[in-house]
């Protein structure tokens, strides 16, 4: 065996390390910025309880992927094997922050908990969510190919693209334009480097350059008074040491998890399918990893993070061929795991996060949103484009619900009055809210039945619609509760029951119509064949 094959760090690993560590840091920074800056979450709970376990999952996953790469290199006798990059998943982490943890924290406070108690309950909910997703991913890792066969790509990619476009893209864009002199410059650098693919000075990663430009503008113009009240002086450096010990507090979070299952379960499902796709991508680039092993590592890293206080799931990143092209081997995942993992333990990650305000971080999220949305169209046959677009509407409704249900915009009393106004049928606000609840599963169902129609399989479309009707009946999708909870429909108040029957009936009626149309089409086909 040559010395090259035994080398732990290759020259290209430095670039790979910078790219991967910045990706993970930006996602952790957004998680903290969203919870603390948008929802008023106590910083100590984020940095001392959520961060250590979350970073620990990144450490374990990257160490395992490093070992897998070195084993593959030994087995194949090659010195160009590149490890699978692992990190925090951007769409679902942002979804957890904006759709689960933040709203849950506000709900706990409105229910009478003090701020600290509400934060701890939210943390427990986040841990429980991660454990549930980890268990789901562990089970599905043995059936990943079957899941991929039965859910069309337009449904999987369309649902995540809807999250990307309106939650990962639009909401961070609003944050950018709250401080446009800083944020828009950073966004321009990201577009220049990552969309236009221009080379950065000294070959530096585009994301790193965007952060530096934004931070320089923020810390130079801010003290001069040119940013107004948007500037806040950096906090003093603190060593927030917190070991990610396993804890059973996630068990307490299970009591709060039911209303969020329509969001949490699809988050786990998407990572399984994504893991299959990235493994195929790595195989096409020359590194033949076991799909099951890749998925199992991802699931176990997520479970370990959840047991130790983490609230964001890990995933193998789609860019393995890109890291291979820059010369990275297995050292970059080793370095990333150590730096992120120890950063969560010793607290220097939280200090770095505090130095990067949201308008500096948000441009990379807008880019990720653009990339995911573009991929939904590029990776899906053109004939299914209408299905992808159709799947965006529930996500748009969810974004509107988030804003309209914010007491800062509409008081809870006025919201309830508008929601329950049945003067002209189901109220517009009720339609928006009900359409947005369970939007990920709704998007999958809507895209799937449109794909079936395009494929001239109306009976399959009808069966998908019957599944949608059954799910809407119990609130898995189209929940009539603002929290998005599930229920037994006959236990609801009469006005809410009416909405449930209307939505479930809509699916049933359309399924019947398509079944009848398929019979007519079959007769015409039979007649043409005689």
Phi, psi dihedral angles at 174 (to 5 degrees)? -60, -40
262-275 residue pLDDT tens? 778 878 877 787 78
For the residues 176-183, what does the mean pLDDT come to? 92
More confident residue, 177 or 19: 177
Give the single-character DSSP code of 197.
-
How far is the C-alpha of 268 from the C-alpha of 271, rounded, in Å? 5
Give the single-character DSSP code of 324.
H
Where along the chain do its domains lie? 11-378, 381-517
How far is the C-alpha of 428 from the C-alpha of 430, rounded, in Å? 5
**Neighbouring C-alpha atoms within 13 Å toward the C-beta of 201:** 6
> What's the longest Cα–Cα distance across the chain?
84
First to last CA, the chain: 70
pLDDT value, residue 311: 95
Most confident range (mean pLDDT) of 52-56, 277-281, 344-348, 442-446 is 52-56
pLDDT score of 528 more than 60: no
413-472 residue pLDDT tens? 888 899 988 888 899 999 999 999 888 889 889 999 999 999 999 999 999 999 999 999
pLDDT score of 337 more than 90: yes
Assess contact for 104 and 263: CB atoms under 8 A.
no
For the residues 374-399, what does the mean pLDDT come to? 89
All residues at 6 or more sequence positions from 159 whose CB lies less than 8 Å from its CB, including other chains = 266, 270, 391, 395, 439, 440, 441, 443, 444, 447
More confident residue, 166 or 294: 294
Residue written as tokens 């220097």? 348
For 433, the token pair is 């809210």
For the residues 193-222, what does the mean pLDDT come to? 86
How many angstroms from the chain centroid is the CA of residue 342?
24
Residue 144 confidence class, pLDDT cut points 50, 70, 90: low
Assess contact for 69 and 354: CB atoms under 8 A.
no
Dihedral sign from CA coordinates of 11, 355, 366, 399: positive
Helical (H) or strand (E) element with 490:
none
Assess contact for 325 and 286: CB atoms under 8 A.
no
Assess contact for 345 and 51: CB atoms under 8 A.
no
All residues at 6 or more sequence positions from 114 whose CB lies less than 8 Å from its CB, including other chains = none
More confident residue, 51 or 8: 51
Three-state secondary structure call for residue 86: strand
310-321 residue pLDDT tens? 999 998 986 677
How many angstroms from the chain centroid is the CA of residue 525?
44
232-260 residue pLDDT tens? 888 777 778 888 999 999 999 999 998 88
For 274, the token pair is 């994504």
């Amino acid at each position: 065996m040559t010395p090259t094959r035994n080398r732990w760090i290759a020259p290209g690993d430095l670039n790979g390390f910078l790219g991967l560590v910045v990706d993970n840091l930006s996602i952790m920074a957004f998680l903290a910025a969203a919870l603390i800056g948008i929802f008023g979450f106590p910083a100590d709970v984020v940095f001392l309880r959520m961060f250590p376990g979350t970073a620990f999952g990144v450490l374990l996953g990257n160490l395992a992927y490093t070992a897998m790469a070195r084993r593959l290199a030994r087995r194949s006798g090659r010195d160009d094997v590149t490890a699978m990059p692992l990190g925090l998943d951007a769409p679902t982490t942002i979804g957890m922050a904006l759709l689960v943890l933040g709203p849950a924290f506000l709900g706990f406070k409105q229910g009478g908990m003090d701020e600290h108690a509400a934060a701890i309950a939210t943390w427990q909910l986040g841990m429980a969510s991660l454990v549930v997703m980890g268990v789901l991913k562990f089970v599905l890792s043995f059936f990943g190919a079957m899941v991929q066969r039965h859910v069309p790509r337009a449904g999987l990619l369309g649902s995540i693209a809807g999250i990307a476009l309106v939650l990962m893209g639009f909401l961070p864009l609003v944050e950018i334009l709250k401080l446009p002199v800083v944020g828009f410059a950073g966004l321009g650098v990201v577009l220049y480097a990552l969309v236009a693919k221009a080379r950065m000075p000294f070959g530096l990663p585009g994301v790193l350059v965007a952060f530096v430009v934004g931070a320089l503008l923020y810390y130079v113009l801010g003290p001069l008074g040119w940013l107004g009240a948007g500037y806040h002086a950096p906090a003093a450096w603190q060593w927030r040491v917190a070991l990610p010990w396993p804890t059973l507090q996630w068990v307490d979070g299970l009591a709060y998890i039911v209303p969020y299952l329509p969001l949490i379960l699809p988050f786990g499902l998407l990572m399984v399918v994504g893991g299959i796709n990235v493994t195929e991508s790595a195989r096409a680039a020359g590194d033949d990893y076991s799909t099951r092993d890749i998925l199992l590592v991802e699931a176990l890293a997520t479970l370990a993070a959840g047991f130790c206080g983490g609230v964001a799931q890990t995933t193998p990143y789609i860019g393995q061929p890109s890291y291979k092209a820059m010369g990275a081997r297995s050292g970059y995942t080793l370095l990333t795991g150590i730096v992120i993992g120890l950063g969560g333990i010793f607290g220097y990650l939280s200090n770095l996060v505090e130095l990067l305000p949201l308008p500096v971080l948000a441009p990379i999220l807008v880019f990720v949103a653009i990339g995911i949305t573009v991929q939904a169209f590029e990776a899906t046959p053109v004939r299914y484009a209408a299905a992808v677009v159709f799947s965006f509407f529930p996500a748009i409704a969810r974004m509107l619900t988030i804003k309209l249900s914010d007491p800062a915009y509409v008081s809870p009393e006025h919201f309830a009055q508008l929601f329950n106004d049945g003067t002209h049928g189901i109220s517009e606000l009720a339609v928006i809210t009900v359409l947005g609840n369970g939007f990920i599963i709704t998007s999958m169902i809507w895209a799937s039945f449109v794909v079936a129609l395009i494929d001239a399989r109306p009976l399959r479309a009808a069966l998908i619609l019957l599944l949608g009707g059954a799910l809407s009946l119990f609130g898995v999708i189209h929940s009539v509760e603002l929290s998005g909870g599930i229920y037994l429909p006959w236990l609801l108040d009469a006005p809410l029951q009416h909405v449930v029957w209307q939505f479930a009936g809509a699916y049933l009626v359309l399924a019947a119509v398509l079944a009848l149309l398929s019979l007519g089409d079959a007769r015409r086909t039979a007649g043409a064949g005689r």
